Amino acid sequence: MDLLRSLPLGLYLEQPQTWLHKIDPRVKIFWLMSFLTTYTFANNEWRLLLVVLLVLTTLLSGIPRRIWQQPQQMAGLLFLTFLVFVIGCFTPDGLGLHYQPRLPEYQVVTQSQPTPTQAPPISTPTTSNQTSSKKYTYVLFERGVFKVTRRSLDLALRISTILFTVLYSSNLYLITTAPEEITAALEDLMQPLKMLKLPITEVTLTLTLSLRFIPLVLEEIQNLIRAIMTRAINWKKIGFKGAAKIWLTVTERLFDNLFLRAEQMASAITVRGFTSPNQHRVQWHDFKLKPRDWLAIMLLILFWGARIVYGNDVN
């Protein structure tokens, strides 16, 4: 078991460097915010389009198959959202009504016999094609206790597509963007907030340290799990109380190691004479928009234009 090589959800992929890695992180933030906001008040066709765009972006970006085929990556999220879609389809839609057709399937017209002094009424016959074209059914599928209605299908599509879009768009951004790039881009975008005397640099420094601390947490968990596996503990023999005691000891040891790591990081910062972020600024990245970034911005404008024209929910 190697948590660092299995690439958990949201862990940065250093190699290989794809074209997604080379796009300006500020532009990627705007793309991420667009994916996280355009599904609001959108129709189901647009939500499905977002899922297709994320899948195509992953396949065309050059990310290795061993990455996106892992259970915690795109393949696993697609399977999870498919299960959510199936469950949502067969879940009652919440209205609790017995449905019937809005119009009868056939109409019997009874007319009185015309008198000699009265002309028979002229009726326009309705063909079977016209009747079938206007047929409306609220229940799309029903067999036994399983029933799929229009509302349940709509809710299932909404929940599954939103779940995949929110989780995977954020994951794809974290995979292709280094933690330092994320914090530097956020600091650059939040510069206007300095007029309100907000500690932008301190906030971004704290975010950088927290993102860098995630691999350390995974490493400590991995080492403790390997330590337990090498001891070949017979869990059936020690019983529930013994297993609970062992896991409590492991959890306590995990927190002790994490606090020790945090103290070592704080000591390293103090030894280097760090007093404030404004006096000890380290420029990791010099942001300059390149031709590929301008192309991504133009595609983003077209993306929002398509959302405004075709993605609105008219219901």
Whether a cis peptide bond, with omega within 30° of 0, leads into 114 is no
Q: Residues 303, 254: one domain?
A: no
> Which tokens sit at 177?
């963007």
Q: Residues 172, 56: one domain?
A: yes
- End-to-end Cα, the chain, rounded Å: 50
Q: Residues 292, 276: one domain?
A: no
Of 174, 136, 140, 122, the closest CA to residue 14 belongs to 174
Greatest Cα pair distance, the chain, in angstroms, is 115
Beta bridge partners of 147: 142
Task: Decide: 195 and 204 in contact? Cβ < 8 Å.
Answer: no
Q: Which domain holds residue 207?
A: 199-284
Instruction: Indicate whether 183 belongs to any domain.
Output: no
Q: Residues 71, 209: one domain?
A: no
Question: Cβ-count burial of 171 within 10 angstroms (0-12 exposed, 13-18 middle, 19+ buried)?
Answer: buried
Of 65, 11, 26, 34, the closest CA to residue 300 belongs to 34
Q: Residues 268, 222: one domain?
A: yes
Q: How many domains does the chain contain in total?
A: 2
C-alpha dist (Å) from residue 267 to 34, 180, 209, 279: 40, 21, 13, 18
Residue carrying the six token digits 């065309």:
60
Of 6, 3, 11, the closest CA to residue 171 belongs to 11
CA 283 to chain centre: 31
Instruction: Indicate whether 9 belongs to any domain.
Output: yes
Beta bridge partners of 312: 42
Can you give the pTM of this predicted structure? 0.71
Beta bridge partners of 139: 149
Q: Which residue type, as a one-letter code, is found at position 32? A: L
Query: Residues in the chain with pLDDT < 70?
Result: 1-10, 71-72, 93-134, 136, 275-286, 314-315
pLDDT at 171 (0 to 100): 87
Q: Residues 215, 280: one domain?
A: yes
Distance separating alpha carbons of residues 305 and 309, to the nearest angstrom: 6
Phi, psi of 106 (to 5 degrees): -145, 160
Q: Residues 218, 267: one domain?
A: yes
**DSSP for 229-279?**
HHTT--HHHHHHHHHHHHHHHHHHHHHHHHHHHHHHHHHHHHHTT---TTT
Q: Residues 71, 164: one domain?
A: yes
